[in-house]
Protein backbone atom coordinates (compact mmCIF):
# COMPACT_ATOMS: atom_id res chain seq x y z
CA UNK A 1 0.00 0.00 0.00
CA UNK A 2 1.31 3.47 -0.88
CA UNK A 3 0.26 6.99 0.11
CA UNK A 4 -0.08 9.58 -2.71
CA UNK A 5 -0.69 12.52 -0.40
CA UNK A 6 2.58 14.51 -0.22
CA UNK A 7 1.52 16.90 2.45
CA UNK A 8 2.45 16.22 6.06
CA UNK A 9 -0.01 13.59 7.42
CA UNK A 10 -2.23 14.43 10.34
CA UNK A 11 -2.76 12.39 13.53
CA UNK A 12 -5.34 10.15 11.81
CA UNK A 13 -2.86 9.40 9.04
CA UNK A 14 -0.15 8.46 11.53
CA UNK A 15 -2.51 6.11 13.38
CA UNK A 16 -3.59 4.49 10.10
CA UNK A 17 0.04 4.03 9.09
CA UNK A 18 0.86 2.33 12.40
CA UNK A 19 -2.18 0.02 12.13
CA UNK A 20 -1.19 -1.00 8.59
CA UNK A 21 2.40 -1.58 9.69
CA UNK A 22 1.29 -3.77 12.60
CA UNK A 23 -1.05 -5.75 10.35
CA UNK A 24 1.65 -6.32 7.73
CA UNK A 25 4.08 -7.46 10.42
CA UNK A 26 1.55 -9.97 11.79
CA UNK A 27 0.77 -11.25 8.29
CA UNK A 28 4.43 -11.72 7.43
CA UNK A 29 5.06 -13.38 10.81
CA UNK A 30 2.22 -15.85 10.24
CA UNK A 31 3.77 -17.05 6.99
CA UNK A 32 6.99 -18.13 8.61
CA UNK A 33 6.02 -18.86 12.21
CA UNK A 34 8.89 -20.20 14.27
CA UNK A 35 9.33 -21.85 17.63
CA UNK A 36 10.70 -20.20 20.75
CA UNK A 37 11.64 -21.56 24.22
CA UNK A 38 9.43 -18.86 25.78
CA UNK A 39 6.41 -20.60 24.21
CA UNK A 40 7.41 -24.01 25.52
CA UNK A 41 8.52 -25.15 22.06
CA UNK A 42 5.31 -23.85 20.46
CA UNK A 43 5.04 -21.40 17.58
CA UNK A 44 5.50 -17.66 17.99
CA UNK A 45 2.78 -15.38 16.65
CA UNK A 46 4.99 -12.26 16.75
CA UNK A 47 7.43 -10.39 18.97
CA UNK A 48 6.30 -7.23 20.73
CA UNK A 49 8.24 -4.24 21.95
CA UNK A 50 9.43 -4.75 25.58
CA UNK A 51 8.60 -1.15 26.53
CA UNK A 52 4.99 -1.32 25.30
CA UNK A 53 5.48 0.60 22.04
CA UNK A 54 2.98 -0.41 19.29
CA UNK A 55 5.65 -1.91 16.99
CA UNK A 56 6.02 -5.66 16.56
CA UNK A 57 8.36 -7.94 14.65
CA UNK A 58 7.93 -11.35 13.01
CA UNK A 59 11.47 -12.32 14.02
CA UNK A 60 13.50 -11.89 17.26
CA UNK A 61 15.16 -8.48 17.53
CA UNK A 62 16.21 -5.82 20.03
CA UNK A 63 15.15 -2.23 20.50
CA UNK A 64 17.34 0.87 20.62
CA UNK A 65 18.19 0.15 24.27
CA UNK A 66 19.37 -3.37 23.37
CA UNK A 67 16.33 -4.96 25.07
CA UNK A 68 15.01 -8.14 23.44
CA UNK A 69 11.47 -8.14 22.06
CA UNK A 70 8.98 -10.41 23.92
CA UNK A 71 7.51 -13.45 22.21
CA UNK A 72 3.72 -13.67 21.88
CA UNK A 73 2.74 -17.33 21.49
CA UNK A 74 0.09 -18.58 19.07
CA UNK A 75 -1.57 -20.83 21.67
CA UNK A 76 -2.47 -17.80 23.76
CA UNK A 77 -5.20 -16.79 21.31
CA UNK A 78 -7.72 -19.20 22.83
CA UNK A 79 -7.41 -17.67 26.31
CA UNK A 80 -9.49 -14.88 27.80
CA UNK A 81 -8.71 -11.32 26.76
CA UNK A 82 -5.54 -10.05 28.39
CA UNK A 83 -4.30 -13.52 29.39
CA UNK A 84 -0.52 -13.56 29.50
CA UNK A 85 1.85 -16.50 29.29
CA UNK A 86 5.17 -16.39 31.10
CA UNK A 87 7.97 -18.90 30.85
CA UNK A 88 8.60 -20.98 33.94
CA UNK A 89 12.07 -19.52 34.48
CA UNK A 90 10.60 -16.01 34.38
CA UNK A 91 7.91 -17.09 36.87
CA UNK A 92 10.70 -18.04 39.26
CA UNK A 93 12.61 -14.82 38.67
CA UNK A 94 9.52 -12.71 39.34
CA UNK A 95 8.84 -14.62 42.55
CA UNK A 96 5.26 -15.45 41.52
CA UNK A 97 3.26 -17.11 44.31
CA UNK A 98 -0.32 -18.35 44.15
CA UNK A 99 -2.91 -19.60 46.61
CA UNK A 100 -6.10 -21.62 46.25
CA UNK A 101 -9.39 -19.77 46.73
CA UNK A 102 -11.38 -21.12 49.70
CA UNK A 103 -14.69 -20.61 51.42
CA UNK A 104 -13.91 -18.96 54.75
CA UNK A 105 -15.58 -17.70 57.89
CA UNK A 106 -14.88 -13.98 57.84
CA UNK A 107 -14.70 -11.63 60.79
CA UNK A 108 -14.73 -7.90 60.19
CA UNK A 109 -12.86 -5.63 62.61
CA UNK A 110 -14.78 -2.45 63.47
CA UNK A 111 -12.64 0.24 65.08
CA UNK A 112 -14.04 3.07 67.18
CA UNK A 113 -13.11 5.71 69.72
CA UNK A 114 -14.55 5.27 73.21
CA UNK A 115 -14.57 6.49 76.80
CA UNK A 116 -14.49 4.51 80.03
CA UNK A 117 -17.40 5.06 82.44
CA UNK A 118 -18.67 3.60 85.71
CA UNK A 119 -21.17 0.77 85.49
CA UNK A 120 -24.50 2.43 86.35
CA UNK A 121 -25.74 -0.79 87.95
CA UNK A 122 -22.84 -0.88 90.39
CA UNK A 123 -23.43 2.54 91.96
CA UNK A 124 -25.24 3.26 95.23
CA UNK A 125 -25.89 6.28 97.43
CA UNK A 126 -26.21 6.64 101.18
CA UNK A 127 -29.26 8.85 101.86
CA UNK A 128 -30.86 7.98 105.26
CA UNK A 129 -34.66 8.09 105.50
CA UNK A 130 -34.42 9.96 108.79
CA UNK A 131 -32.71 13.21 109.73
CA UNK A 132 -30.08 13.72 112.40
CA UNK A 133 -26.60 14.86 113.35
CA UNK A 134 -23.39 13.07 112.33
CA UNK A 135 -21.55 12.60 115.62
CA UNK A 136 -18.71 10.38 114.42
CA UNK A 137 -17.39 9.94 110.86
CA UNK A 138 -15.41 6.77 110.06
CA UNK A 139 -15.00 7.17 106.30
CA UNK A 140 -13.90 10.74 105.74
CA UNK A 141 -12.16 10.89 102.32
CA UNK A 142 -13.20 10.55 98.73
CA UNK A 143 -11.48 7.54 97.20
CA UNK A 144 -11.64 5.37 100.32
CA UNK A 145 -12.46 1.75 99.59
CA UNK A 146 -15.19 0.30 101.78
CA UNK A 147 -16.62 -3.16 102.35
CA UNK A 148 -20.28 -4.03 102.35
CA UNK A 149 -21.71 -3.42 105.85
CA UNK A 150 -18.75 -1.33 107.00
CA UNK A 151 -19.78 1.55 109.30
CA UNK A 152 -19.61 4.89 107.53
CA UNK A 153 -20.72 7.17 110.40
CA UNK A 154 -22.76 7.30 113.62
CA UNK A 155 -25.83 9.51 113.77
CA UNK A 156 -27.93 10.93 116.58
CA UNK A 157 -31.55 11.03 115.41
CA UNK A 158 -34.33 12.37 117.70
CA UNK A 159 -36.89 10.61 115.49
CA UNK A 160 -35.25 7.21 115.99
CA UNK A 161 -34.85 7.77 119.72
CA UNK A 162 -38.58 8.41 120.12
CA UNK A 163 -39.43 5.24 118.19
CA UNK A 164 -36.94 3.22 120.25
CA UNK A 165 -38.55 4.35 123.51
CA UNK A 166 -41.99 3.60 122.14
CA UNK A 167 -40.87 0.09 121.16
CA UNK A 168 -39.43 -0.57 124.63
CA UNK A 169 -42.54 0.69 126.43
CA UNK A 170 -44.86 -1.36 124.23
CA UNK A 171 -42.84 -4.58 124.48
CA UNK A 172 -45.14 -7.58 124.61
CA UNK A 173 -48.06 -5.64 123.13
CA UNK A 174 -49.09 -4.87 119.57
CA UNK A 175 -47.41 -1.62 118.51
CA UNK A 176 -46.56 0.10 115.27
CA UNK A 177 -43.11 1.19 116.51
CA UNK A 178 -41.34 -1.89 115.13
CA UNK A 179 -42.89 -1.47 111.70
CA UNK A 180 -41.92 2.19 111.55
CA UNK A 181 -38.36 1.38 112.61
CA UNK A 182 -38.10 -1.19 109.83
CA UNK A 183 -39.44 1.31 107.29
CA UNK A 184 -36.65 3.71 108.27
CA UNK A 185 -34.00 1.00 107.70
CA UNK A 186 -33.29 0.65 111.41
CA UNK A 187 -30.47 -1.92 111.78
CA UNK A 188 -31.77 -5.45 112.42
CA UNK A 189 -29.03 -6.10 114.98
CA UNK A 190 -30.13 -3.11 117.07
CA UNK A 191 -33.76 -4.17 116.77
CA UNK A 192 -32.87 -7.57 118.17
CA UNK A 193 -31.23 -5.90 121.18
CA UNK A 194 -34.43 -3.98 121.84
CA UNK A 195 -36.38 -7.24 121.76
CA UNK A 196 -34.05 -8.64 124.44
CA UNK A 197 -34.79 -5.63 126.65
CA UNK A 198 -31.41 -3.96 126.28
CA UNK A 199 -31.12 -0.24 126.68
CA UNK A 200 -31.70 1.65 123.40
CA UNK A 201 -28.46 3.10 121.93
CA UNK A 202 -28.10 6.87 121.74
CA UNK A 203 -26.55 6.84 118.25
CA UNK A 204 -27.11 4.55 115.30
CA UNK A 205 -24.32 3.23 113.04
CA UNK A 206 -25.00 3.68 109.31
CA UNK A 207 -23.36 0.92 107.17
CA UNK A 208 -22.17 0.91 103.54
CA UNK A 209 -24.88 -0.71 101.40
CA UNK A 210 -22.32 -2.26 98.99
CA UNK A 211 -18.59 -2.70 98.62
CA UNK A 212 -16.76 -0.23 96.43
CA UNK A 213 -14.94 3.09 96.22
CA UNK A 214 -16.28 6.36 97.60
CA UNK A 215 -16.48 8.72 94.63
CA UNK A 216 -18.50 11.46 96.37
CA UNK A 217 -18.58 12.39 100.07
CA UNK A 218 -20.83 15.14 101.33
CA UNK A 219 -20.88 13.98 104.96
CA UNK A 220 -18.92 16.08 107.49
CA UNK A 221 -18.53 15.33 111.18
CA UNK A 222 -21.04 17.34 113.26
CA UNK A 223 -23.25 18.31 110.33
CA UNK A 224 -27.02 18.05 110.42
CA UNK A 225 -28.75 16.49 107.43
CA UNK A 226 -32.34 16.16 106.31
CA UNK A 227 -34.13 12.88 105.47
CA UNK A 228 -33.19 11.69 101.95
CA UNK A 229 -30.11 13.91 101.66
CA UNK A 230 -27.23 12.15 99.81
CA UNK A 231 -24.20 11.80 102.08
CA UNK A 232 -22.06 9.26 100.15
CA UNK A 233 -21.88 7.89 96.61
CA UNK A 234 -20.17 4.51 96.28
CA UNK A 235 -19.32 2.61 93.10
CA UNK A 236 -18.00 -0.88 92.49
CA UNK A 237 -15.14 -0.54 89.95
CA UNK A 238 -14.48 -4.26 89.46
CA UNK A 239 -16.24 -3.92 86.09
CA UNK A 240 -16.51 -0.83 83.88
CA UNK A 241 -18.54 0.33 80.91
CA UNK A 242 -16.82 1.37 77.69
CA UNK A 243 -19.00 3.59 75.51
CA UNK A 244 -17.83 3.36 71.90
CA UNK A 245 -18.89 5.61 69.02
CA UNK A 246 -19.33 3.48 65.86
CA UNK A 247 -19.84 5.07 62.45
CA UNK A 248 -23.29 4.61 60.99
CA UNK A 249 -22.01 2.57 58.01
CA UNK A 250 -20.38 0.05 60.37
CA UNK A 251 -23.47 -0.42 62.49
CA UNK A 252 -24.81 -3.24 60.31
CA UNK A 253 -21.79 -5.40 61.13
CA UNK A 254 -22.05 -5.11 64.94
CA UNK A 255 -24.42 -7.00 67.22
CA UNK A 256 -24.87 -7.69 70.91
CA UNK A 257 -22.54 -10.45 72.04
CA UNK A 258 -19.61 -9.54 69.74
CA UNK A 259 -16.19 -9.71 71.38
CA UNK A 260 -14.17 -6.52 71.67
CA UNK A 261 -10.66 -5.45 72.60
CA UNK A 262 -9.99 -2.09 74.25
CA UNK A 263 -6.75 -0.13 74.70
CA UNK A 264 -6.30 3.03 76.78
CA UNK A 265 -3.56 5.61 76.43
CA UNK A 266 -2.20 4.91 79.91
CA UNK A 267 -1.42 1.26 79.05
CA UNK A 268 -1.11 1.06 75.24
CA UNK A 269 0.52 -2.38 75.35
CA UNK A 270 -2.17 -3.98 77.50
CA UNK A 271 -5.48 -4.82 75.78
CA UNK A 272 -8.61 -5.25 77.92
CA UNK A 273 -11.09 -7.83 76.57
CA UNK A 274 -14.82 -7.16 76.69
CA UNK A 275 -18.16 -7.90 75.09
CA UNK A 276 -20.83 -5.73 73.43
CA UNK A 277 -23.86 -5.77 75.75
CA UNK A 278 -26.07 -3.00 74.38
CA UNK A 279 -26.54 -0.86 71.26
CA UNK A 280 -28.21 2.46 72.03
CA UNK A 281 -31.34 3.20 69.95
CA UNK A 282 -30.26 6.55 68.52
CA UNK A 283 -27.61 7.97 66.18
CA UNK A 284 -25.91 11.32 66.77
CA UNK A 285 -27.32 14.02 64.49
CA UNK A 286 -23.96 15.71 63.94
CA UNK A 287 -21.47 12.90 64.48
CA UNK A 288 -23.53 10.26 62.61
CA UNK A 289 -22.28 7.65 65.05
CA UNK A 290 -24.10 5.08 67.15
CA UNK A 291 -23.13 4.37 70.74
CA UNK A 292 -22.30 0.87 71.92
CA UNK A 293 -21.89 -0.35 75.48
CA UNK A 294 -19.05 -2.76 76.12
CA UNK A 295 -18.55 -4.35 79.54
CA UNK A 296 -14.93 -4.83 80.60
CA UNK A 297 -13.59 -6.50 83.74
CA UNK A 298 -11.39 -4.27 85.93
CA UNK A 299 -10.21 -6.44 88.84
CA UNK A 300 -6.99 -4.50 89.45
CA UNK A 301 -8.60 -1.07 89.19
CA UNK A 302 -6.43 0.18 86.33
CA UNK A 303 -9.38 1.55 84.39
CA UNK A 304 -10.77 4.87 85.56
CA UNK A 305 -13.84 6.83 84.53
CA UNK A 306 -13.50 9.23 81.58
CA UNK A 307 -10.35 7.57 80.22
CA UNK A 308 -10.05 7.81 76.43
CA UNK A 309 -9.91 4.45 74.69
CA UNK A 310 -9.69 2.80 71.28
CA UNK A 311 -11.88 -0.24 70.63
CA UNK A 312 -11.67 -3.04 68.09
CA UNK A 313 -14.88 -5.07 67.76
CA UNK A 314 -14.78 -8.52 66.18
CA UNK A 315 -17.91 -8.71 64.03
CA UNK A 316 -18.33 -12.18 62.42
CA UNK A 317 -20.10 -12.22 59.03
CA UNK A 318 -22.75 -14.99 59.01
CA UNK A 319 -22.00 -17.97 56.75
CA UNK A 320 -18.95 -18.86 54.69
CA UNK A 321 -17.71 -16.75 51.80
CA UNK A 322 -15.24 -16.96 48.94
CA UNK A 323 -12.24 -14.89 49.99
CA UNK A 324 -8.80 -14.13 48.58
CA UNK A 325 -5.67 -12.77 50.26
CA UNK A 326 -5.59 -8.97 50.25
CA UNK A 327 -2.31 -9.07 48.28
CA UNK A 328 -4.10 -10.84 45.39
CA UNK A 329 -6.34 -7.86 44.60
CA UNK A 330 -5.25 -5.22 42.10
CA UNK A 331 -7.38 -2.18 42.87
CA UNK A 332 -7.14 0.90 40.68
CA UNK A 333 -10.12 2.58 42.32
CA UNK A 334 -12.42 1.98 39.34
CA UNK A 335 -11.68 -1.70 38.80
CA UNK A 336 -10.75 -4.62 41.00
CA UNK A 337 -8.93 -7.54 39.37
CA UNK A 338 -7.30 -10.78 40.47
CA UNK A 339 -4.92 -12.87 38.39
CA UNK A 340 -6.19 -16.43 38.00
CA UNK A 341 -3.54 -19.07 37.41
CA UNK A 342 -4.53 -21.11 34.32
CA UNK A 343 -1.56 -23.50 34.34
CA UNK A 344 1.59 -23.77 32.20
CA UNK A 345 2.59 -20.21 33.00
CA UNK A 346 -0.68 -18.64 31.85
CA UNK A 347 -2.41 -15.97 33.98
CA UNK A 348 -5.86 -14.52 33.36
CA UNK A 349 -6.86 -11.09 34.76
CA UNK A 350 -10.36 -11.61 36.21
CA UNK A 351 -12.62 -8.69 37.22
CA UNK A 352 -14.22 -9.33 40.61
CA UNK A 353 -16.85 -7.74 42.80
CA UNK A 354 -15.53 -7.31 46.32
CA UNK A 355 -17.31 -7.22 49.67
CA UNK A 356 -15.92 -6.51 53.11
CA UNK A 357 -12.24 -6.45 53.98
CA UNK A 358 -11.06 -8.42 56.99
CA UNK A 359 -7.52 -8.82 58.36
CA UNK A 360 -5.50 -10.43 55.57
CA UNK A 361 -8.44 -11.26 53.28
CA UNK A 362 -11.11 -9.71 51.05
CA UNK A 363 -14.61 -11.10 50.49
CA UNK A 364 -15.35 -11.87 46.81
CA UNK A 365 -19.04 -11.61 45.88
CA UNK A 366 -18.70 -12.28 42.14
CA UNK A 367 -16.01 -13.44 39.71
CA UNK A 368 -14.36 -16.36 41.53
CA UNK A 369 -15.24 -19.76 42.89
CA UNK A 370 -13.60 -21.99 45.45
CA UNK A 371 -10.77 -24.13 44.08
CA UNK A 372 -9.36 -21.61 41.60
CA UNK A 373 -5.85 -20.34 42.24
CA UNK A 374 -4.97 -16.64 42.36
CA UNK A 375 -1.61 -14.90 42.28
CA UNK A 376 -0.62 -13.41 45.64
CA UNK A 377 2.79 -11.95 44.76
CA UNK A 378 4.24 -10.18 41.68
CA UNK A 379 0.65 -9.31 40.72
CA UNK A 380 1.48 -5.84 39.42
CA UNK A 381 4.27 -7.15 37.18
CA UNK A 382 1.99 -9.74 35.57
CA UNK A 383 -0.90 -7.28 35.32
CA UNK A 384 1.34 -4.77 33.53
CA UNK A 385 2.35 -7.40 30.98
CA UNK A 386 -1.28 -8.47 30.55
CA UNK A 387 -2.36 -4.88 29.94
CA UNK A 388 0.30 -4.49 27.25
CA UNK A 389 -0.92 -7.62 25.49
CA UNK A 390 -4.58 -6.56 25.70
CA UNK A 391 -3.73 -3.08 24.40
CA UNK A 392 -1.83 -4.56 21.46
CA UNK A 393 -4.69 -6.95 20.67
CA UNK A 394 -7.17 -4.07 20.64
CA UNK A 395 -4.80 -2.00 18.49
CA UNK A 396 -4.53 -4.71 15.82
CA UNK A 397 -8.15 -5.88 15.94
CA UNK A 398 -9.26 -3.51 13.19
CA UNK A 399 -6.78 -4.99 10.74
CA UNK A 400 -8.15 -8.53 11.01
CA UNK A 401 -11.67 -7.61 9.88
Instruction: Give CA separation, 152 vs 227, 230, 236, in Å.
Output: 17, 13, 16
Q: Predicted confidence band at 36 (pLDDT cuts at 50, 70, 90)?
A: low
Helices 379-396 and 11-31 cross at an angle (nearest 10°) of: 100
Side-chain-side CA neighbours of 201 within 13 Å: the count stands at 13
As separate numbers, helices (DSSP H) first and strands (DSSP E) second, the chain gives 6, 27
- Number of residues assigned to the chain: 401
pTM: 0.62
Q: What is the CATH number of domain 93-104+320-386?
A: 2.40.420.20
Q: 323: helix, coil or strand? A: strand
What's the average model confidence in pLDDT over 199-227?
A: 95
Dihedral angle over CA of 167, 168, 170, 174, nearest 10: 50
> Would you say 69 and 25 are in contact if contact means Cβ atoms under 8 Å apart?
no
pLDDT at 33 (0 to 100): 54
Residue 59 has pLDDT above 80, yes or no: yes
What fold is seen in the domain 109-120+238-316?
Elongation Factor Tu (Ef-tu); domain 3 (2.40.30)
What's the average model confidence in pLDDT over 350-368?
A: 86
Find all residues with CB under 8 Å of 54, minimum gap 6, and list them.
18, 22, 392, 395
In whole angstroms, give the CA distance from residue 230 to residue 213: 16
385 versus 281: the higher-pLDDT residue is 281
Residue 16 has pLDDT above 50, yes or no: no
Find all residues with CB under 8 Å of 184, minimum gap 6, and list them.
128, 129, 130, 159, 160, 163
pLDDT at 63 (0 to 100): 81
Find all residues with CB under 8 Å of 400, minimum gap 6, and list them.
23
Residue 143 has pLDDT above 90, yes or no: yes
Q: Given the DSSP bridges, would you call strands 259-264 and 123-126 parallel, antiparallel or unpaired? A: unpaired
Neighbours of 382 (CB within 10 A): 21
Percent helix, strand, coil in the chain, to 5, is 25, 40, 35
What's the average model confidence in pLDDT over 26-46?
A: 59
In whole angstroms, give the CA distance from residue 81 to residue 71: 17
Q: What is the CATH number of domain 128-229?
A: 2.40.50.100
* Each residue's pLDDT tens digit, 292-346: 999 999 999 999 999 999 999 988 888 888 888 888 888 877 788 888 888 777 7
* Each residue's pLDDT tens digit, 99-139: 888 888 888 889 999 999 999 999 999 999 999 999 999 99
Q: Predicted confidence band at 10 (pLDDT cuts at 50, 70, 90)?
A: very low
363 versus 7: the higher-pLDDT residue is 363
What is the domain partition of the chain in residue ranges? 11-75, 93-104+320-386, 109-120+238-316, 128-229
pLDDT at 114 (0 to 100): 96
pLDDT at 378 (0 to 100): 62
Report for 78-82, 85-89, 273-277: range of highest mean pLDDT: 273-277
Q: Given the DSSP bridges, would you call strands 321-325 and 151-156 parallel, antiparallel or unpaired? A: unpaired
pLDDT at 386 (0 to 100): 53
pLDDT at 153 (0 to 100): 97
377 versus 153: the higher-pLDDT residue is 153
On average, the pLDDT of the chain sits at 81
Amino acid sequence: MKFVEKSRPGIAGVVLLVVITVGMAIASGSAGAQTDPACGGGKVKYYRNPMGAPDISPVPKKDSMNMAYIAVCEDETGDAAGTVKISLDKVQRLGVRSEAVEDRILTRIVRAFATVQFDERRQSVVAPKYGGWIEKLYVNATGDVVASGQTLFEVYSPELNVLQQEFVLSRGTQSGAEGRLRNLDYPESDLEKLRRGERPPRTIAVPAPTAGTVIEKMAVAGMRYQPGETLFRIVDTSAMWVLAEVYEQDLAFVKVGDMAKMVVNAWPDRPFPGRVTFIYPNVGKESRTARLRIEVANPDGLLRADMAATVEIEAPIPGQWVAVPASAVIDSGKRQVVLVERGEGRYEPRPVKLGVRVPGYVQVLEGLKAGERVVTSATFLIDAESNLRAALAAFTAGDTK
